[in-house]
Amino acid sequence: MPKRTAAGIVTALRPPFRSAHVNNLQDYFSLDYDQERHDFVPKFEGSRFEFLDGGGDKPNVADEITAADLAAVTCLGVDVPEGAMLRMLEGTDARKIRELLKEIPTGVDLHSHSDNPLGSASKAWAVWDIINAPNGMGRTTTSKILARKRPQLIPILDSVVVCALALSDTNAWDDIFQFMTQNYCAVVDELKVIQAAAALTHGDVGRISLLRVFDIIVWQQHRSECTRKSNCPGSSIFSS
């Protein structure tokens, strides 16, 4: 599968594709009426990922993994093994995670950095290693937990998005950093336009990070055509 480029992604975010991305983003945050419950419910449970219990990066819990964080990641369709859950909530691993998270600032966008802050020697990778081992949850679940704690800095590595963007097996975070920072952050500029348009009718869209906007746009665009198999050709519009 050919490697994606920032220039190709910019093209895929601009007209004539832009309106579809705006619609998909709005659709992701829309509500359906549940006849049995007589109430409106999220069309996509993932739309509550950032907001459940006030968010994972609110000041009083930003430096620890909480039960609400682990509940939030289930909204994105993954399960956390019981053993891993306990390690993250209490004991030695939980203490190590707290100490590392204290060294990773909140409220800082990935694209604001001149050098990739998610390299192999970073604190984020150190937290990754603790969360992912020894249970081997895999990069999808691990990245979702970390994205809940630092939504502006750490990208989600969902299998559909990995496929659509042809992300590296070993260095996907660096791929996304390059997309977000190359060509004077041209991808970021397009994401801001799409987010602002979608937020006109769905206010929650304006409250999520640009990384999450990117994640939702790509996932929505590719989820129906992705075979989730090794022979999937990747996204038809992000492949340029």
pLDDT digits (tens, 9 = 90+) for 46-78: 999 999 999 999 999 999 999 999 999 999 999
pLDDT band per the 50, 70, 90 thresholds, residue 134: confident
pLDDT band per the 50, 70, 90 thresholds, residue 130: very high
Q: Are 195 and 28 in contact (CB under 8 A)?
A: no
Mean confidence (pLDDT) of the chain? 94
Whether pTM > 0.75 for this model: the answer is yes
Distance, CA of 225 to CA of 102 (rounded, Å): 40
Which distant-in-sequence residues (6+ apart) come within 8 Å of 202 by Cβ? 25, 26, 29, 30
Q: Does residue 136 carry a pLDDT above 80?
A: no
CA distances to 141, 178, 194, 213 from 75, rounded to whole Å, are 11, 28, 24, 16
Q: What is the per-residue pLDDT for 137?
A: 84
Distance, CA of 53 to CA of 89 (rounded, Å): 16
Q: Which of 157, 68, 64, 161 is nearest to 118 (CA)?
A: 157
Distance, CA of 49 to CA of 44 (rounded, Å): 10
Domain boundaries, the chain: 6-222
Distance, CA of 195 to CA of 206 (rounded, Å): 6
pLDDT band per the 50, 70, 90 thresholds, residue 240: low
Which DSSP helix (H) or strand (E) runs through 10?
A: helix 6-13
Distance, CA of 59 to CA of 18 (rounded, Å): 35
3-class DSSP assignment, residue 136 = coil
pLDDT in tens, 177-199: 999 999 999 999 999 999 999 99
Distance, CA of 95 to CA of 101 (rounded, Å): 10
- Examine residue 134 and say whether the peptide bond preceding it is cis (omega within 30 degrees of 0): yes
**Could you tell me the two tokens for 99?**
């100490």
Residue 13 corresponds to which amino acid? L
Q: What is the per-residue pLDDT for 77?
A: 95
Q: What is the per-residue pLDDT for 133?
A: 81
